[in-house]
Structure 1
Amino acid sequence: MKKVEKSQEQWREKLSDEQFRVCRLAGTERPFTGEYHLPQFKGVFHCVCCEQPLFDAQHQFDAGCGWPSYWQAINETALTEHADTSHGMQRVEVVCSKCDAHLGHVFPDGPAPTGLRYCINSVAMRLEPAAAD
């Protein structure tokens, strides 16, 4: 996979202010405000920065945390994880493996079968709806 590399200025031109703040500056949207925080969609969620597929809607669940939550990524190469000790916490940051966009965090308190909860900012994704049956 070829990495997408752009300058901060190029990202600012492509993204909304909120997308830039979250994806390029590792910000967080307010809970329960994101477009995708409830699992009511069918399709595939893509990175808003580079369009890489990230999550299938069938793996989304309502964790009650106010952000879209998934128990697995669309595949094992879609995401990269980093230690995050910001804000006095120890967490695992999740970024897009293709463009390094900050997506959110992963926690070990999700449902079976993985036990994971990928807690992702809605603004970092774009839904490609499933084709109608």
Structure 2
Amino acid sequence: MPSKDAARIGRIAEEAARRKYGARSDHSSWHDIRYKNGRVADVKAAEHSRNGRYGRFRLWRAAHQKLKANNGGYVFAVVSEGQVLKLKRMSARDVERRLNGISWYSSGHDGKGHQAKIPWPHLVDSR
């Protein structure tokens, strides 16, 4: 997905997450929002369908480890045509449990570290 499109659906997802969960923007290298109780979350967006396949969430190992160490989590958003279809909140630990661990691999981008690309139905119910 071109970075312009990724940034646009990311903004849409973050706005929906803030509204639904009463959070505020709080950007760092490893999280996007902060809940009223002080916990943080990284908002991840995936297109519902991309080139005939499910869209994927891109997780970064360094950010995931920080979320896990700080009792943080994710908000996963499935987006189609500029609309959020599904939103799911999940702790970093629960993500690992749901996936039976995470297989990380080099992103191929200098300085970006290791990533995992997860088809959205693996984390968000497809019903």
- Which one scores higher on RCO, CA 8 angstroms, separation ≥ 6? 1
Instruction: Decide: shared fold, TM above 0.5.
Output: no
Is the helix fraction higher in 1 or 2?
A: 2
TM-score (structure 1 length as normaliser): 0.29
With the length of structure 2 as denominator, give the TM-score of the two structures.
Answer: 0.30
